Structures are given as C-alpha cells and as structure tokens.
C-alpha cells in the first residue's frame, strides 16, 4: 500500500509504503480486486481520513457488543465489531466512490464514508518519489534526541537553517541572525555508507533549508508514532531526505523530501 502527498505551497513531498501482507503488515486481512492487475489508485482528503481513523477508539469497551437479543442481524453485527477492528473498504455511497471506515468509538458504532477520486493506475507514475542523486552524507538519528525541539527554537531566530553533516557522525545546525550565530551540535550519530556517494568518513555536506519546512518534516517526532530508526540523507544543492522506518520495521516506512536553497562554492567552504 503506497501513499503519496505533496505540499504545493511549501514544496515538501512525503511518500509512505505500508506492508499489507497478512501476518506481518498493518492489516489482519486484506483483499483487493481490479481489472488493472489488482491495483486501485485514488485521491483522498488526508485530513478527513485522519479524522475518521482517530474517531475510532481502541478501548476494551469496543470489544463488547452493545446489542441484545439473539437474532441473526445482531449476531452478525456483534461479530463484525467484536475484535475492535477498523474496517476500511472501497464502495459507492449515493453513486459517489468512497473509502468507508467503520469501527467502534467506545460502545458506539462509527461509520465514515470519505469521497475519493478514482484515478488510472498509470497516473501513479506522476506521484512516485523524485529521482535524486546518491546522498553525500547519511546519518542515522537517535530516537532519544528529537531534532524538532531544537529546530522549533531556531525557527524563532532565523527563517533558514544551515545543516552541516559529516560521515564521521557529526551534525551541526546553524542559524545566522543580525548580530549573532547560533550552532547546535549532535555527535556520535551512526553514518550509513550503504548507497552513499562516498565511503570516506571525511565526507561533508552543507544544506540551507527553510526552518519552517524542516520543522514540518519532523512533526512525527512529537506524535505517538513509533519509529525503529530514522536517517537523515543530504544531497548537496538538491534535497534533504528524511527516511523513517516504522516500528516494527516490517510494517513499512515513510520518506520526506525537503527542498533546499542553492549554495555557491564560496558559501559551501
């Protein structure tokens, strides 16, 4: 299952891939059928989808049926919600294609029908991750030291932040104000030489990023999201990439692509 979204104003792209295989993915049961090699591509309002999912409680109360009687209808509805599952399915409601999200909020049945726009499978090619060069620097971030806390403080000082990373495991965030320059240092990060442009620990890279965009791409650090690892990938004068593996890693991953400002040779020195 692939999700793709892009902020047309800020230029930030996010791509997510979730495993749907039964037993190791996000679904207990999964079935999809279509004439396009069992692939369906559609567009959906993420805010409505998120609201629908958040409205469904995970409390133990949802495991009990609130229906009395022994008739067949109640029995089917009881089994439908008895394990406190969230059911998602594609269907038409009033002739409009929708993603239906059904579940329990406490002891109350909740049904959502979110309108979608069905697209051609070939259109997915326009929503794939951008093709970029191999990273100059790749560093694995520590879960216990979220960057966003620091970035939020720097955002009030300057609109842009300089990110200086090196394959020896060091990362520096720097903002320049009118009368001062502030730097924050992170050390002992794990360099990732796989798929990197160079295997030398002396390799360095400097990027200039809008502080607001960097903060937005780090929102997941202050949510209930559980990540097994997160890597910061830097491509000089091209892109900042944040790649996050979910916990457990078998569930999937998501990747942010953050645009950067061009730096001249003199600014890179």
- Give the pLDDT mean for 202-216: 95
Euclidean distance between CA atoms 177 and 13, whole angstroms: 29
Segment 39-49, tens digit of pLDDT: 999 999 999 99
> Cα-flanking dihedrals φ and ψ of residue 83, to 5°?
-100, 15
Segment 159-197, tens digit of pLDDT: 999 999 999 999 999 999 888 899 999 999 999 998 889
Segment 94-138, tens digit of pLDDT: 999 999 999 887 778 889 999 999 999 999 988 999 999 999 999
State the pLDDT confidence band at 82, using cuts at 50, 70 and 90. very low
Mean pLDDT of the chain, nearest integer? 86
pLDDT (0 to 100) of residue 166: 96
The pTM (predicted TM-score) of the whole model is 0.85
The C-alpha torsion from 80 through 86 and 87 to 90, rounded to 10°, is: 160
Segment 218-265, tens digit of pLDDT: 999 887 788 889 999 999 999 999 999 998 888 899 999 999 999 998
Euclidean distance between CA atoms 254 and 64, whole angstroms: 34
- Can you spell out the DSSP letters for 83-130? T-PPEEEEEEETTEEEEEEEEEETTEEEEEEEEEEEE-GGGGGGGSPP
pLDDT (0 to 100) of residue 247: 87
Query: Residue 54: which H helix or E strand, with range?
Result: helix 46-54
State the pLDDT confidence band at 24, using cuts at 50, 70 and 90. low
Let me know: does 80 contact 111? Beta carbons within 8 Å: no
**Strand ranges of the sheet holding 41-44, from the earlier edge strand across to the other edge:** 41-44, 108-119, 96-105, 87-93
Place of tokens 């509805």: 77
pLDDT (0 to 100) of residue 64: 39
């Amino acid at each position: 299952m692939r999700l793709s979204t892009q902020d047309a104003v800020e230029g930030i792209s996010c791509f997510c891939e979730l495993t749907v295989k039964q037993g190791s993915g996000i679904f207990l049961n999964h079935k999809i059928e279509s004439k396009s090699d069992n692939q369906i591509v559609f567009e959906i309002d993420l805010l409505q989808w998120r609201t629908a999912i958040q409205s469904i409680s995970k409390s133990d109360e949802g495991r009990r049926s609130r229906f009395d009687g022994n008739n067949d209808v109640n029995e089917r509805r009881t089994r439908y919600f008895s394990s406190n599952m969230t059911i998602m399915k594609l269907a038409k409601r009033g002739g409009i294609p929708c993603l239906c999200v059904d579940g329990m909020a406490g002891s109350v049945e909740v049904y959502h029908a979110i309108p979608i726009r069905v697209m051609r499978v070939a259109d997915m090619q326009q929503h794939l991750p951008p093709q970029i060069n191999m990273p100059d620097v790749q560093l694995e971030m520590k879960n216990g030291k979220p960057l966003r806390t620091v970035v939020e403080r720097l955002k009030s000082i300057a609109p842009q932040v300089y990110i200086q990373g090196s394959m020896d495991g060091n990362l520096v965030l720097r903002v320049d104000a009118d009368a001062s320059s502030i730097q924050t240092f992170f050390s002992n990060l794990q360099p990732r030489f796989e798929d990197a442009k160079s295997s030398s620990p002396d390799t360095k890279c400097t990027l200039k990023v809008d502080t607001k965009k960097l903060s937005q791409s780090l929102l997941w650090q202050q949510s209930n999201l559980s990540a097994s690892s997160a890597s910061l990938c830097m491509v000089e004068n091209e892109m900042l990439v944040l790649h996050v593996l979910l916990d457990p890693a078998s569930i999937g991953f998501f990747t942010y692509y953050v645009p950067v400002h061009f730096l001249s040779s003199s600014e890179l020195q």
